[in-house]
Every structure is written in structure tokens, then in C-alpha cells.
Amino acid sequence: MASSSSSSSVTSPWRYDVFLSFRGDDTRDTFTAHLYRALTQKEILTFIDKDELRRGDEISPALLQAIEGSRISIIVLSTNYASSTWCLDELLKILECKKSKQQRVLPVFYHIDPSDVRHQRGSFGEALAKHAEKLNVDMKLQLWKEALREVAGILGYPLINGHEANLIEEIVQEVSRIANDHFFLPVAKHPVGLEPHLKDVDLLSVETNDIRMIGIFGVGGIDMGREVVRQESLKNPGARSRLFLHEDVREVLENDTGTDNVEGIVVDFPKGDDIIRLSPKAFKKMKRLRLFRCRNAHFSEELNFLPNSIRVLDWPNCPLQSMPSKFRGDKLSILLMPGSSKFKVSKFEENKS
């Protein structure tokens, strides 16, 4: 089971990237095991019920917390999925989090027809009929039926006679795309300059049962993130976790002042000031760099090094003919290089393998 610690300085509101819901008797040692392995190899933090947390008649609090703390739920709908009340209760919780937490849901129709799930035919109809015999009230049964109809209507991944490895690769690519869609900034408990305003906000915390809403609008909201990042190192931009101001990007890349604190770089220069006199060792010290996004800059020298920690490389019109020789790209999950006519993707893929 994947685990994670939490503190006031977490970088993401999610405890896990993925929660896996599956019928153990059907897929634990086959499809789900292979999918879990592929996700973890991409360093995607995945919760799987390895420790048999399913005890008693009700779904365990640990599983409920894992679902609530996951950014994505993958539901492996197999022949005997609906025969487990545990699986059906997981499904209810997942769809609840889809509505309340905007959790992404990716259903996998594993050797079943989605229409059988939607209309409760075949093994799904038989399983629900057996549950109906045991239940004293009809309410829970109706909730399960509605949940199955809803999940069957979500665009998912059908596998009837296809190749499992290809489907797993497709799922992992989609999960990587979602997981890398946002990079969260660490925020101090009381960022500089906000404490006086926090005292004013505290005045609203009165003992009352009514609902109060507070909104922060406009440029000031923008994630205060830039000021928070600047406070990480006032004098040395290369010691900050993110670089997005073009003056800072230029200083770090031209003067080789980057450190292993840097996790993301966005290069977006004003028109007419878009030439970077790149230091040959500019990326050498950035061993934790995960995202490099170059919007419009031009480099005066050939790039000869990229960290193998990079997961997102977004570089339209890239001038490179090939990747730096020591760049393996084994952690790379998103590669976007539109308009890069000189770059040989096939050669890079050959080097990766």
C-alpha cells in the first residue's frame, strides 16, 4: 500500500495520485497487478489494497480516506465486480468524490460490455439480484444501480480481445498527463506580508452556525505564488523551486547558478529579448528538475545536458537535432515538440530502449 505523510508545507492537496478499485478474485494477480507496477514505475503514487483492509461488514475508514485523498480513481470493472458489496460501496464513494472534489474517474471495462454495466445485464444483473435477496431495504440497491449506470456512461477503456500491455500503457500516459497538469507551490503558514490580513480574517471565525464565504480575487491571488517562491531565496533565483520570471530564467541559465532546488522552469520571454546565451553546464546542477517548458526563447549555444529527472518537456520549435547524449528520458512522461523539424524522435526513442 502506498503511503504519504502530510504537513503544513505539502506541495499537493492530494495524498495519492491514483486509487485502484478492483475485484481481487478477478484481476488482483493479473491486470491490476500489471497496471499497479506500470504506474509505480512512472513514480505515480498509487493506493492499492495490498494489506487486506477489507474486514467486517462495512468499508474500512482507511479505504474511504484513501479514496478521498486521491486525485484519480481507476475502476477496473470485471465480471465479478458487482458481486462484491465492498466494490459497490467503493464505487459510491468514488462517484461522490467526483462530484464534491472534482476527482477524475477512469473506468476500465475488463472483458465486459459497458452496456451490460449500464443496464445491469449478465453477471452484473445476477449479482444485484443476489444482493436484493439479502438486503432488507431497497435504498442501497438503488444507489448501486444508479452508480453502475453513471460509471458506464463515463468515457473509459474497454478491453475485450485487445492486448493488455497496450491498454495499460495508454492508461498510464493519461494518468501522467493528469498528474502533471498542475505543479503546486509550497505555501508557508503565514506568507510574508499576510499576517495583518489574517488577523482580520480571524475576526470572521465567530461561534455561529451560519455559512460564511470569503473570496480572494484578481491579480493578488496569482497561487501569492510568485512572492512565495521569491521568498525561498531572495538573492539567488537558482535556489528557488520554480523559475518563471524571464529575468530570473536568463540569470540562472546564462550564469550557471541553478541548484538541485529547481523543479520547474517556464521560459517565456518578451518579444525582442528572447535570446539566451546558454551556459554549457546550465542544467548540470538541477538534479530535481521535473518540468521544462520553453515558449519562445532561442539559445545561442547547443544544449548539451538535461537532467534525467525531467517528466515534462514542452518545447515547440526545438532547435535540437537530438537529445543530449547522457539524457535517458526514463522518467519522461510528456514530450511535446511541435514544429521541431530537425529533432529525430525515432532516434531518441531508440536510445531510450
Distance set, CA 205 to CA 196, 208, 216, 259, 278 (Å): 15, 8, 17, 42, 52
Q: Are residues 175 and 229 in the same domain?
A: no
Q: Are residues 21 and 139 in the same domain?
A: yes
User: Quick check: is 212 in a domain?
Assistant: no
The span from the CA of 57 to the CA of 83, in Å, is: 14
Q: What is the pLDDT of residue 197?
A: 46
The residue out of 124, 159, 179 marking a domain boundary is 179
User: Quick check: is 203 in a domain?
Assistant: no
| pTM metric for this prediction | 0.53
The span from the CA of 43 to the CA of 195, in Å, is: 37
Q: What is the pLDDT of residue 96?
A: 96
Q: Are residues 165 and 257 in the same domain?
A: no
Q: Are residues 162 and 24 in the same domain?
A: yes
Provide the domain count of the chain.
Answer: 2
Q: Are residues 248 and 171 in the same domain?
A: no
CATH number for the domain that contains residue 24: 3.40.50.10140
Q: Are residues 91 and 147 in contact, defined by beta-carbon separation less than 8 angstroms?
A: yes
Q: Are residues 164 and 280 in the same domain?
A: no
* 150 given a catalytic annotation: no
The residue out of 179, 214, 248 marking a domain boundary is 179
User: Quick check: is 302 in a domain?
Assistant: yes
User: Quick check: is 2 in a domain?
Assistant: no
Q: What is the pLDDT of residue 51?
A: 55
Q: Are residues 260 and 138 in the same domain?
A: no
User: Quick check: is 71 in a domain?
Assistant: yes
Which residue of the set 90, 133, 207, 263 is catalytic?
A: 90
Taking only the tens place, the pLDDT of each residue in 155-197 is 899 998 778 999 999 999 999 888 776 544 444 444 445 454 4
Going by C-alpha positions, the residue among 14, 34, 40 that lies closest to residue 76 is: 34
Q: Are residues 246 and 158 in the same domain?
A: no
Q: Are residues 46 and 156 in the same domain?
A: yes
Q: Are residues 229 and 86 in the same domain?
A: no
**Mean pLDDT of successive 10-residue stretches along the chain, which has 353 residues:** 37 84 94 95 89 58 92 97 94 95 94 94 95 83 95 91 88 87 48 47 40 44 68 88 88 90 86 75 89 82 84 82 83 80 53 53
Q: How many residues does the chain have?
A: 353
Q: Are residues 162 and 58 in the same domain?
A: yes
User: Quick check: is 112 in a domain?
Assistant: yes
Q: What is the pLDDT of residue 165?
A: 92
The residue out of 160, 179, 198 marking a domain boundary is 179
User: Quick check: is 190 in a domain?
Assistant: no
User: Quick check: is 6 in a domain?
Assistant: no
What is the domain range of residue 315? 225-352
Taking only the tens place, the pLDDT of each residue in 105-153 is 999 999 999 999 999 999 999 999 999 988 876 788 999 999 999 999 9
Exposure of 317 in the CB half-sphere (CA atoms within 13 A): 6
Q: Are residues 264 and 140 in the same domain?
A: no
Query: Where on the phi/psi map is residue 235: left (φ > 0), alpha (ψ -120 to 50), or beta?
Result: alpha
